[in-house]
Amino acid sequence: MKQLELAGIPRPVSQLALGMSDRDDYAQAAPILDAFHAAGGTLFDTAFEYGRADAVLGQWLAARRLAGQVSVIGKGCHTPDCRPDSVAPQLEASLEALGLECLDVYFLHRDDEAVPVGEWVDAIDPHLRAGRIRRYGGSNWSTARIDAANAYAARTGKAGFTALSNQFSLAEMIAPPWAGCRSAGDDASIAWLKRTGTPLFAWSSQARGFFTDRAIAASPPDPELVRCWHSTANLDRRARAMELAARRGVTVAGLALAYNLAQDFPVFPLIGPLNLAELASSLDALTVELTAEEMRWLKG
Ligand SMILES: NC(=O)c1ccc[n+]([C@@H]2O[C@H](COP(=O)([O-])OP(=O)(O)OC[C@H]3O[C@@H](n4cnc5c(N)ncnc54)[C@H](OP(=O)(O)O)[C@@H]3O)[C@@H](O)[C@H]2O)c1
C-alpha cells in the first residue's frame, strides 16, 4: 500500500485509511484491523461520535503494541455538541480511550455556521501547541468557511486548517446519507483542493456499497442507496466501472476505489468494510492503476 508523507506527522501514512464507524465490538473489529495492517494499512479514522470505536481501536493498538507506530485520525464536536467548548472534553476523552497522547489529524466532525470561524480556531490552536494534535481540519465543512478560518488564523498567528474530510467517490452524492454532511465531489471543491493542496480524507469512498456485486444484483435496489446515489450519471458510471473491472479482473468496488486513489490531488480514501470479504474487495483497488484516459471515461 502506498505510504505518503504528511507535513507534521512523524511517519509516512498509508493512502487508504480504515474507518472505525460501526466497530463497537473488539472481537469483530480486530481481525479486520489486523488484515488491513498486514496489507500495509497504517492510517485509522475514528471519532468520539462512533460509540466504542475509540476504545476498540485503543485496545487493538495496545494489544499489537502499535501505539505511536501507526497514525490515527480523530474527530469531535458532532451535532448536537457542535460547539467550540466541546473540543477540549471530547479530545481528552478520545485520547484517553485510545491510550494515546496525540492524534495525528483531528477533525471538527461538523460545522455550525452560526459560530464565528475564529471561535473554532481559538478552541483548537492550544491543543496543537500543547502537542495533543499534529494537524487539524474540517469534516463536512465548506471550503469558504475553511478559507475564512485560515484568514483569521493567519491574522492572529494561530494554526489553521490543513485537512478536509468530506465525501468523495466515483459516484456523486445526490443526497447526504446523514444530515449535515457535505461532499467534495463538485467542480468548485475539486478546484479548491488542487489550488490549496489540502489533503482530502474522503469518507464513503465506496459510496456505501453502491459498487458492490450485491447492490448491483439487488432487485429492488436498497432504498437508502437509491436515495443517496441512484442518479442516471451514477448508474452510467457504475456500468462503465463494471465493464472496466471485468477487463482488469477485479471487483467493481475495488475498481471504483481505484478512481479515488488515482486523483491528481491528494486523496486519502476512508473505507468501511464490515468483514474480511469486503476488505479484500476494497483492497483490489491497490492492484489497479487507472490511466488519465480511463479516469475521464469512468467519470463520463
Ligand atoms: N466525517 C464524516 O462525517 C464521516 C461520514 C461517514 C463515514 N466516515 C468515516 O469514513 C469511513 C468509511 O465510510 P463508509 O463506512 O461510509 O464507507 P464505504 O466504504 O463507502 O461504505 C461502507 C459500507 O458499504 C458497504 N461496502 C463498502 N465497500 C464494500 C465492499 N468493497 N464490499 C462490500 N460492501 C462494501 C458495506 O455495507 P453493507 O455490508 O451493509 O453493504 C460497508 O459497511 C467510516 O468508517 C468512518 O470512519 C466519516
pLDDT at residue 221, rounded to an integer: 96
In tens, the pLDDT along 259-295 reads 999 999 999 999 999 999 999 999 999 999 999 999 9
Residue range 96-108: average pLDDT?
98
For atom 17 of ligand 1, the residue with the nearest CA is 204
pLDDT at residue 135, rounded to an integer: 98
Question: What is the overall mean pLDDT for the chain?
Answer: 97
Q: If pLDDT is split at 50, 70 and 90, which confidence band does 127 have?
A: very high
pLDDT at residue 235, rounded to an integer: 98
Q: What's the gap in Å between 13 CA and the centre of ligand 1?
A: 20
In tens, the pLDDT along 169-196 reads 999 999 999 999 999 999 999 999 999 9
**Cβ 208 vs Cβ 21: under 8 Å:** no
Whether residue 216 has its Cβ less than 6 Å from ligand 1: no
CA atoms within 13 A on the CB side of 280: 4
**CA–CA separation, 224 vs 233, rounded Å?**
17
Whether residue 272 has its Cβ less than 6 Å from ligand 1: yes
Q: Which domains does the chain have, with CATH numbers?
A: 11-165 (3.20.20.100), 168-182+206-300 (no CATH)
Whether residue 166 has its Cβ less than 6 Å from ligand 1: no
Residue with cell 468501511: 272
Residue range 85-114: average pLDDT?
98
Query: Cβ–Cβ contacts within 10 Å for residue 177, how many?
Result: 16
In tens, the pLDDT along 56-95 reads 999 999 999 999 999 999 999 999 999 999 999 999 999 9
In tens, the pLDDT along 16-28 reads 999 999 999 999 9
Residue range 140-150: average pLDDT?
98
Phi-psi region of 292 (alpha: psi -120 to 50; beta: other; left: phi over 0): alpha
**CA–CA separation, 184 vs 182, rounded Å?**
7
What's the chain's length in residues? 300
pLDDT above 90: percentage of residues in the chain:
100
- Ligand 1, from 167, 200, 210, 278: best to mutate by most atoms within 8 Å of Cβ? 278
For atom 38 of ligand 1, the residue with the nearest CA is 209
pLDDT at residue 120, rounded to an integer: 98
Residue range 204-221: average pLDDT?
96
Three-state SS string across the chain, please? CCEECCCCCCCCEECCEEECCCCCCHHHHHHHHHHHHHCCCCEEECCCCCCCHHHHHHHHHHHCCCCCCCEEEEEECCCCCCCHHHHHHHHHHHHHHHCCCCEEEEEECCCCCCCCHHHHHHHHHHHHHCCCEEEEEEECCCHHHHHHHHHHHHHHCCCCCCCEECECCCCCCCCCCCCCCCECCCHHHHHHHHHHCCCEEEECCCHHHCCCHHHHHCCCCCHHHHHHHCCHHHHHHHHHHHHHHHHHCCCHHHHHHHHHHCCCCCEEEEECCCCHHHHHHHHHHHHCCCCHHHHHHHHC
For atom 30 of ligand 1, the residue with the nearest CA is 278
Residue range 101-108: average pLDDT?
98
**Cβ 37 vs Cβ 28: under 8 Å:** no
**CA–CA separation, 88 vs 169, rounded Å?**
32
For atom 6 of ligand 1, the residue with the nearest CA is 203
What number does the ligand 1 atom closest to the CA of 23 have? 45
Q: What's the gap in Å between 151 CA and the centre of ligand 1?
A: 33
Q: If pLDDT is split at 50, 70 and 90, which confidence band does 230 have?
A: very high
Q: What's the gap in Å between 156 CA and the centre of ligand 1?
A: 38
In tens, the pLDDT along 250-261 reads 999 999 999 999
